[in-house]
Amino acid sequence: MIYVCDIRQGKLCPCTRSQLKPYTLFKGFIQDRGGVSACSQQKEAGVQTNRNKRKKQILKIGHGGTLDSAATGVLVVGIGKGTKMLRAILAGSKKYTAIGRLGKATDTLDATGKVTEEKPYDKITKGDLENVLQKFTGDIMQVPPLYSALKKDGQRLSSLIKRGEAVEAKPARPVRVYSLSLQRFQPPLFTLDVECGGGFYVRSLVSDIGKELSTCASVQELTRTKQGPFTLEEHALYEDKWTIDEIARSLERCTSLLPGEPSHKKFKTEDSGETAVSCEDKR
């Protein structure tokens, strides 16, 4: 069970968790834990069930890849069995639109951090920038940002830094860039479209581009527009639609796109009352 939401602050909004918290996954059913019995809910939904053959379990929720704290865009959310599919989604390709700013570096490599360096950029042309982008396409080595979700001794590097602890940069690691193009150049700002593999940091890319141009640069805005088969325009559930009914509809639409998932999978819901949201649960 997979759905996609449009994230505005780099993480799964508490609103989503609060919408799903009162629910239990009941062998393929998202069922309200308060007031109405499983049998009555399933009967209202027109589903024949055998009480002895159904196993009740707590609803598990996970997501397929952390967004930067200031980033927006696609976040794939797994519910129940869908949490097992997230590893493959996390390793798949992603697309981003990034607005970079020349001449200014920060400790976080984006606009949320403290300025650490400023350099001139007035002699940089659009052609210079386009030529540099070629060096960052294909299989490259990249040093992850210090402020990141990477962990040391089980704790995020960003959390350690905020507590004032000394953190060493992680060594460069191989990453893949499928495509990289310049969409707009209006100094000091420039806009990039990036398609990359797992483990890639757009903040590091923009910082490295600045260094290649003999200046510095940081990310001003970052939006994930696609993750795996899911796009921001076609599949993302916007914040005003984070309700159990809308999530159920999104579950049906998004789960059908996954390899090996039956296209006829159904998630039944009612607009009123405490009815079951059901799906075929292939085990």
Catalytic positions, please?
68
Residue 73 and residue 225 in contact, taking contact as beta carbons nearer than 8 Å? yes
Give bridge partners of residue 220 from the DSSP assignment: none
Please write down the HEC assignment for all residues of 36-105: CCHHHHHHHCCCCCCHHHCCEEECCEEECCCCCCCCEEEEEEEEHHHHHHHHHHHHCCEEEEEEEEECEE
**How far, in Å, are 68, 80, 103, 152 from residue 108 at the CA level?**
10, 34, 15, 17
Contact 110, 218 (CB under 8 A): yes
Element (H, E) at 161: helix 157-162
DSSP 237: B
How many Cα atoms within 13 Å fall on the side-chain side of residue 120? 2
Looking up tokens 């984070």 gives 242
